[in-house]
């Protein structure tokens, strides 16, 4: 079996290519977020988390963009989601008409850091001779890392992620500590706005 499901060597050299993250970019992972504390505590795995993705809802704007780019770009899912869920992921894309051409998924059990994995995928696609012109990603620290390591422009999407919108006096320290961490799911415009608003409130109330 090829390292990616459709051998990119068969795609004409220089083909313009867009890389897409999946979770919280094309599919909303809100319904499985309850498992995150278990994963971080070591009581569940990222493979377990990926296995629940068949119930994810599509994110309409991002999915529409995939459809709009279909004729002119080779579009690849580059994701830290487990390759054990490849069949499920392809079925999900078919169900919701998400016309991705290929899938590069982290091998089951592989704990390579998400950003490192995605950068390696971009380099692999380039080695095949593809012209990677854009990466679409929801997670701010990973987006910055990809851009820094590959010089590929990164489009940040989905600032409306519920995890990024609920910042309270009870979880502010956790949000601030995770904001630039590879362990965090906080990032984007909404997060920054809420953090600053909460800090301002604390200063004004003396909490």
Each of the 207 residues of the chain gets a pLDDT tens digit; together they read: 233 444 444 678 889 999 999 988 999 888 887 777 887 888 888 788 888 888 899 999 999 999 999 999 999 999 988 898 999 999 999 999 999 999 999 888 888 888 999 999 999 999 988 999 999 998 888 998 999 999 999 998 876 554 543 444 555 555 555 544 433 333 333 344 555 555 556 556 665
Output the pLDDT for position 33: 79
Range of the domain at 144: 13-158
Does 119 lie in the same domain as 203?
A: no
Does 152 lie in the same domain as 177?
A: no
| φ, ψ (nearest 5 deg) of residue 14 | 85, 5
On whether the pTM is more than 0.75, the answer is no
| φ, ψ (nearest 5 deg) of residue 140 | -55, -50
**Residue 133 to residue 16: CA distance in whole angstroms:** 6
Does 207 lie in the same domain as 112?
A: no
Does 170 lie in the same domain as 135?
A: no
In a domain, 82, yes or no: yes
| φ, ψ (nearest 5 deg) of residue 168 | -125, 175
């Amino acid at each position: 079996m090829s390292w990616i499901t459709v051998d990119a060597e068969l795609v004409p050299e220089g083909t313009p290519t867009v890389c897409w993250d999946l979770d919280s970019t094309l599919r909303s992972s809100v319904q499985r977020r309850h498992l995150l504390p278990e994963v971080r505590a070591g009581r569940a795995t990222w493979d377990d988390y990926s296995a629940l993705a068949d119930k994810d809802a599509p994110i309409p704007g991002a999915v529409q963009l995939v459809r709009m780019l279909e004729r002119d770009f080779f579009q690849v899912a580059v994701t830290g989601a487990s390759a054990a869920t490849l069949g499920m992921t392809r079925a999900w894309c078919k169900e919701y008409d998400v016309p991705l051409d290929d899938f590069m998924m982290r091998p089951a059990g592989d704990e390579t850091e998400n950003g490192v994995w995605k950068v390696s995928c971009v380099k692999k696609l380039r080695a095949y001779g593809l012209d990677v012109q854009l990466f679409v990603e929801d997670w701010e620290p990973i987006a910055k890392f990809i851009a820094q390591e590959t010089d590929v422009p990164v489009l940040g999407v989905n600032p409306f992620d519920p995890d990024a919108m609920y910042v309270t006096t009870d979880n502010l320290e956790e949000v601030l500590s995770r904001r630039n961490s590879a362990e965090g799911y906080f990032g984007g415009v909404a997060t920054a706005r809420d953090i600053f608003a909460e800090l301002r409130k604390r200063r004004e109330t003396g909490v």
